[in-house]
Every structure is written in C-alpha cells, then in structure tokens.
Amino acid sequence: MTDLPKKAAAKWSRLLRVEADAQALTNSCLRELSEANRLLDNAPHGPRAPSLRAVIIEGRARLVELQQRHREAAALNTHLLRWLERNRSVELEDLPAARPRLLKGDTAVDAIARVRDRIAALRGEHTATEGAMLPIGDLKALVRSHVQTLAERARPKIAAASDKVEVTFRSKGEGWSNKPDLEGLLAWLDPAAFEARLCEELAGTAGTSLRLSPEEKSAALSKLRAEMDALEREEEALIEMAIDTNGVTIERRASASPAAILGVRQKQQARAMA
C-alpha cells in the first residue's frame, strides 16, 4: 500500500477505528442477546421473562442497526484499500480541506443532497461527452483515409510473360490471390465515387448526437472531471461537518472518490496544475 501523508494517514486510521468499533459493538450486542435468550429459555415463565423478552426485541432491532453500520464502514474501507493498493507507486500529498457551502436555511444534510444531485448530473454529462461522435467533417476525413487505404491494398499485381498476363490481388490478409477483395477493388477502380457514396451513407447517421473534435472532447472531459473532483471534496467536507456539529453519520456513496475522502491528490497532478 502507498505511504499516506500525515493528515490522510490520520483519517485512514480513524476510519479503520470506526469499522473496528462497529464490529465490537455488534459483537457485544450479539453476546447480550445470547445471554438474554439463555436466561429466557431457562425460565420462560419466571418473573424476569417479560423484561427479558423486551430486551430481546430491543436487542434485535439494535443488532440490525449495528450490523448495517459495520457493513457500511467495512465496505468504505475496502473501497479505500483497493484504491490505495492500485496506487501503491503513486506519491500523494495532503490537500487543505474543502470549505463546505451552506445556502441560507441549509443543513449539512440538505447541502449533501444538493451536491450529490449535481455530481450525478455531471456524471451523466461525462458519459455523454465520452460517447460524443466526431464532427461530420472529421468523419468524412476518416472515410477518405479508409478509401485510400483500401485502394492501395487492392491494387493488383500484373505479371506479363511472352504469351500471357497473370493478375493477382492482395487478400485481406498478407498473401496474394486470384480472387479480388471486392471492397478494395471498388475503392481502387473509382476512389472518388466510392468515397462519395460512403459519405452519403454517413450523412444519414448525423442525427442530433453530441459531436466533438478530439481536442474539444479532451477539454470538456477535463473540465467535467475537475468540477466533479471539487464537488466530491465538498461532499466529504459536509459529511465531516454533519458528524462534528450534529453528530449525524451519513453513509458515503459507494462510488465516492477515495482521493476526496482521504483529502489527497497525486503530487504530479499538483505540478501539472501549477
């Protein structure tokens, strides 16, 4: 596992303690339930039977809550550990905690819901941007390049002897054959016409899909990732605020950024942003 900087290491230790404490409380509740059940089995009609049944009912409800709390803590720490293992060779540095923003009348819980809605919307934009098609002009340039490649590949080889001519064609593999590659032959016979017909077919796929050049897509994705990173760090700050000021524990999302939770970033990322 990668070495964590000071603040991140302290937080990681705290999260591990939360999991261990949740496990200890769950085990304690199980022991109490076991003992109550034992006493009730021994004296089902004794004077303590009603109170023991009440303890068992209350204990079962509490056990469900404690087990859920432990599952959440364990899932979070597994999520973080896997990320740390994948980044074992990456040098990390602490970042100052994000400043959570509360709108007028907001509680930390309200603000977290608002931030999570925005993160979800940005993830949708990110997915749409990743799937954006190239502009028609760029696609036509790809068609032209494809036709040129086909035509060059399909150019026949002619061998002339004293009384005959032998024509062979390059196959779709590496060898030669007396059977032409039809697609390539069409491109070789009339590349302009073949290209024009392919572009006509291409125009029919235009639709209303998002279209971006590689440069535009890269810039848009970088902007979206930066905004999502800032929001995830704000979300984590709000979760910590809810714990510190209200004693409210809010489950972190399964897809929450480990870097945001631990408050770190890669050092080379910091140099790139400088």
Distances (CA, A) of 254 to 72, 74, 79, 177, 263: 9, 11, 8, 57, 17
Most confident of 74-83, 156-165, 209-218, 249-258: 74-83
pLDDT at position 273:
45
Most confident of 151-165, 203-217, 233-247, 259-273: 233-247
Q: Are 72 and 251 in contact (CB under 8 A)?
A: yes
pLDDT in tens, 42-98: 999 999 999 999 999 999 999 999 999 999 999 999 999 999 999 998 999 999 988
pTM of structure: 0.75
Residue 164 clears pLDDT 90, i.e. is over it: no
**If you average pLDDT over every residue of the chain, what do you get?**
89
